[in-house]
Amino acid sequence: MSENPTTESNAIAALLASMTPEIHQALKTAVELGHWENGEKLTNSQREHCLQAIIAYDRAFVAPEQRVGFISREGSACSKSDAQQQTSHSVDKALDRNNTH
């Protein structure tokens, strides 16, 4: 969409207002399978627009953990504090190497 931001926002709002959960699911299915319900193959442009509509719909109406592409961070092997400690340790090691030369 190469329209101005206000027009683009209005177009997205209108699209979301007209989308039903059934349309959302049909778009997701078409993208997953690579073709429409009637068997016609999606073009690259259609796939791109479907994905944009799916993402916009998800952002407006779907809980984050139910959205396309959601990755749970719960129970991961590397918690935020662990990652910060590893980064700090890596920086310390790099500084030690630079100071020995």
Query: Mean pLDDT in the chain?
Result: 80
- In angstroms, rounded to a whole number, what is the distance separating the alpha carbons of residues 67 and 38? 26
Q: Average pLDDT in the 76-93 region?
A: 56
Segments making up each domain of the chain, as ranges: 5-74
Q: Average pLDDT in the 71-75 region?
A: 85
**Encoded tokens for 83:** 């990652």
| The predicted structure's pLDDT at residue 31 | 96
* Contact status, residue 68 vs residue 27, Cβ threshold 8 Å: no
| The predicted structure's pLDDT at residue 86 | 52
- In angstroms, rounded to a whole number, what is the distance separating the alpha carbons of residues 26 and 29? 5
* Higher-pLDDT residue of 94, 42: 42
Of the pLDDT bands very low, low, confident and very high (cuts 50, 70, 90), residue 1 is: very low
